Homo-oligomer: A and B are copies of this chain.
Amino acid sequence: MKHIILASTSTIHGSDYLDYILPELDIFFNDIEDIIFIPYARPGGITHNEYTKKAQEAFKKINRTIIGLHQFDNPVEAISNAKAIFTGGGNTFLLVQQLYKNNIITPLKNSILNGTKYFGTSAGSNIGGLTMNTTNDMPIVYPPSFKTLGLVSFNINPHYLDPLPNSKHMGETRETRLKEFHKFNTQPVVGLREGSWLEIADKTIILKGELQARIFEYNKPPYEVETGTNLSNLK
């Protein structure tokens, strides 16, 4: 039985880290007190300790204890024994490189498939998809593969951003990038706007939060789905 929350972002504009989703997390983590935190994505390059402290402060508000994975001598064992895991956002290339380097990809996947509760934000949600090919991050390091956990049968594009109507910037829009992705890949992509998340309970995948999500399927025009939509048939 899988129990997973994949959130677009950790922070909504104008509120503190994780604040918008803490009430949801309080229910989600239920009677679990200790959560292992994977700090590998290091947003803005902060250290594992600094990042873990940030997560600890947020989770203290709902009386949960965060333990950084980097504090364990044997991270593989820690992941395998965890009751709950949270992977924070930052740089997806760095996160995936570190997961491979520490041989955590397979134990992490197995742990979640066996019922360990998993919560990811941004890069931590990206790795829930089939591959990291739809991250928005800069490739600051070279991971040994773009293959990720495949907790869902599609890819995720967090921080999904609609085209800015009056922009004079000539860089590609997010939609153009995802169209390019589908020239070389066939899996669907869920564009999760900020404040949206997917909640997965076994085989059910529900879009949560206030906003719609934008779905990109191979050889189809992109379309919107309302919050509350069941996306379990998307593959």
Contact = CB atoms under 8 A, between A and B. Distances in A.
B94 A138 contact: no
Contacts of A179: 44-45
B142 A183 contact: no
A194 B42 CA distance: 29
B140 A139 contact: no
A147 to B, nearest CB: 9
A140 B91 contact: no
A189 to B, nearest CB: 10
Most chain B CB within a 10 A radius of its CB, from A10, A139, A177, A181: A139
A223 interface: no
The contact size tier of chain A is 35 or more
A214 interface: no
A181 B145 CA distance: 19
A140 B172 contact: no
A228 to B, nearest CB: 23
B91 A180 contact: yes
A123 to B, nearest CB: 10
B9 A170 contact: yes
Contacts of A9: 170
Contacts of A136: 138, 171
A133 B137 contact: no
Interface of A: 9-14, 42-45, 90-91, 93-94, 132-142, 145-146, 159, 161, 168-172, 176-185, 194
7 closest Cβ pairs, A-B complex: A45-B183, A13-B168, A138-B177, A159-B171, A140-B181, A45-B180, A142-B146
